[in-house]
Amino acid sequence: MIRKKIDIPLIIVLTLLGLFILVPMGSAFEYSIRNGLEGGYSFKNYIWAFNQDDFGHYLLRSAWLASLTVLITLLILVPTMTLLHLSNSKFRPLIDGLSLLPLVIPVVAFAVGAQIALPEFVQSTVFELPFLYFILALPYAYRSLDIGLNAIPLKTLTEAARSSGANWRNTVVHVITPAVRSSVMGTVALTFALSLGEYTITVLLHWDTFPTWVTYVAQENLLGAIAISMIALIVPFAVLTSISLFAPDRSMKESK
């Protein structure tokens, strides 16, 4: 019987990472169930949050905006990056650098400039936000897909699919996307979480979403606002956990 060697450094790193995430969340949760000057603990702040008239409205609004951002990201990036990898273009390093620009451009300049660049019929609606969220998530989504596409025999899969009679759409949807499913899931998780919590651009463009609504209700009930913030943390955390559970285990596939 072969005994598995315990990877102590990995356990230490994972423990520190867990403490880094769970200690602040636990502290915020403890603070959110306080009764203020009355003392003691209860869930009255969470009850207050759920009883707010606009709680469900703004939570659903942010959720479908984030979902639309994910859809836009996948529709644009998956075929575009597939073509980029297949072409072996000499401009690929330049494109890699350009994808990092949202990290260095000031948010104020980005919000105003990007909005003006959009068609006028989009500028006057809340549907401009998913396109701007897509640009903000681009550095993370781009690299997540890039890692996945570099890890598979992309050219071989594409040539096999095309020689079997598949058109370009079927090749991308039914061959390439399942092959990089882990990277696609990571892209979905990162984009959804970033879009759900985006605040600065939304405020600059004078739109109301769940994060902006939280800052408004914080003026009325600070502990209740912390409870709402905890709910806002739990939703993307649940999404990330669900995506990681549904993502395939590559090591198990390779062992088979």
Domain boundaries, the chain: 42-247
Q: Which residue has the higher pLDDT, 99 or 234?
A: 99
Tell me what pLDDT residue 2 has: 53
Fold exhibited by the domain 42-247: MetI-like fold (1.10.3720)
Tell me what pLDDT residue 76 has: 92
Tell me what pLDDT residue 243 has: 65
Which pLDDT band holds residue 155 (cuts at 50, 70, 90)? Answer: confident
Mean pLDDT of 127-154: 90
Residue 3 vs residues 6, 10, 101, 119: alpha-carbon distances, Å = 9, 17, 48, 62
Residue 232 vs residues 66, 69, 96: alpha-carbon distances, Å = 13, 18, 32
Tell me what pLDDT residue 139 has: 92
Nearest to 189, CA basis, from 26, 74, 28: 74
pLDDT in tens, 172-182: 888 888 888 88
pLDDT in tens, 177-214: 888 888 888 888 889 888 888 888 888 888 888 888 88
Q: Residue 220: is its pLDDT beyond 50?
A: yes
Angle between helices 55-87 and 210-217 (to 10 degrees): 140
Which pLDDT band holds residue 151 (cuts at 50, 70, 90)? Answer: confident
Burial of 109 (0-12, 13-18, 19+ CB in 10 A): exposed
Tell me what pLDDT residue 75 has: 92
Q: What is the pTM of this model?
A: 0.80
Q: Residue 249: is its pLDDT beyond 60?
A: no
Tokens (6 digits) for 162: 């095309």
Mean pLDDT of 87-99: 83
CA distance 106 to 89: 30
Nearest to 247, CA basis, from 181, 190, 192: 181
